[in-house]
């Protein structure tokens, strides 16, 4: 098991499209813990996740993953599950997942078939992704987090489109990840069904 990590953000400021989204946000998250980002629409929950993933550059502040691999950026040690599922409709479920196993790189986790079973898509492996429902697409995107091991999970509204049973499975997967010393940062409007720390983003106070 890799050594426990700690994610520390200090006085992060984010600007997008010339507008300040949030300013001086600081947090620290220990291995095995979940950080829930809460706040109204437009408060910058998704922006903060994208910033941690390295998809948006911080206007100020520092972000470090202590105990991680110093040669890699934080984003390269994180799984980013955004609003978009990053699936190619013309490829089958198995091909989509195989591609991410090869493309993401890093320590391998579960095998493809095990991961698909875990998100209850095992029987649909040969189906082109275009025929999946929104919830099934979401579950296939989740399977990506299982096939490649990365310590930090960044989840943007992870329960979107998932039915109750699937949400239960999602929280089981998150709990297993946390038990192995992983970290989870999730933007959410609903309370998560597990213990978490809360980071409240204020929203329109800066404008």
**Segment interacting with another protein (CB under 8 A) among 24-32, 53-61, 166-174, 180-188:** 53-61
Q: Examine residue 75 and tell whether it contacts another protein (CB under 8 A).
A: yes
Q: Examine residue 16 and tell whether it contacts another protein (CB under 8 A).
A: yes
Q: Closest approach of Cβ 191 to another protein, in Å?
A: 26
Given 29, 65, 78, 186, the residue binding another protein (CB under 8 A): 78
- Smaller CB separation from another protein, 111 or 168: 111
Q: Closest approach of Cβ 198 to another protein, in Å?
A: 25
Q: Closest approach of Cβ 195 to another protein, in Å?
A: 27
Torsion of CA 145, 150, 151, 155, to 10 degrees: -40
β-sheet with 6-16: strand ranges across: 19-30, 6-16, 60-66
DSSP track, 64-107: EEETS-TTS-TGGGEEEE-SS----TTSBHHHHHHHHHHHH-SS
Q: Examine residue 104 and tell whether it contacts another protein (CB under 8 A).
A: yes
Q: How far apart are CA 144 and CA 1, in angstroms?
A: 20
Q: Are 207 and 19 in contact (CB under 8 A)?
A: yes
Q: How far apart are CA 136 and CA 43, in angstroms?
A: 29
Q: How far apart are CA 61 and CA 20, in angstroms?
A: 14
Residues 21 to 50 in contact with another protein, rule: CB under 8 A: 50
- Smaller CB separation from another protein, 104 or 193: 104
**Segment interacting with another protein (CB under 8 A) among 28-36, 88-96, 183-191, 192-200:** 88-96
Binding interface with another protein (CB under 8 A):
16-17, 50, 53-57, 72, 75-76, 78-80, 82-88, 90-91, 95, 98-100, 102-106, 144
């Amino acid at each position: 098991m890799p050594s426990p990590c700690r994610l520390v953000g200090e006085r992060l400021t984010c600007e997008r499209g010339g507008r300040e989204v949030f300013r001086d946000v600081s947090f620290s998250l220990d291995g095995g813990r979940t950080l829930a980002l809460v706040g109204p629409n437009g408060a910058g929950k998704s922006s903060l996740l994208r910033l941690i993933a390295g998809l948006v550059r911080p206007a100020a502040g520092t972000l470090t993953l202590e105990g991680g691999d110093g040669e890699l950026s934080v984003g390269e040690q994180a799984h980013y599950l955004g609003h978009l599922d990053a699936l190619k409709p013309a490829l089958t479920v198995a091909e989509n997942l195989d591609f991410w196993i090869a493309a993401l790189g890093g320590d391998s986790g579960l095998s493809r078939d095990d991961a698909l079973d875990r998100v209850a898509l095992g029987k649909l492996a040969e189906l082109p992704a275009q025929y999946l429902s929104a919830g099934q697409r979401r579950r296939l995107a989740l399977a990506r987090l299982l096939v490649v091991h990365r310590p930090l999970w960044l989840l943007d509204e992870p329960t979107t489109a998932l039915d109750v049973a699937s949400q239960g499975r999602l929280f089981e997967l998150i709990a297993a990840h946390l038990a192995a010393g992983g970290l989870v940062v999730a933007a959410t409007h609903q309370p998560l069904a597990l213990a978490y720390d809360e980071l409240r983003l204020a929203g329109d106070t800066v404008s």
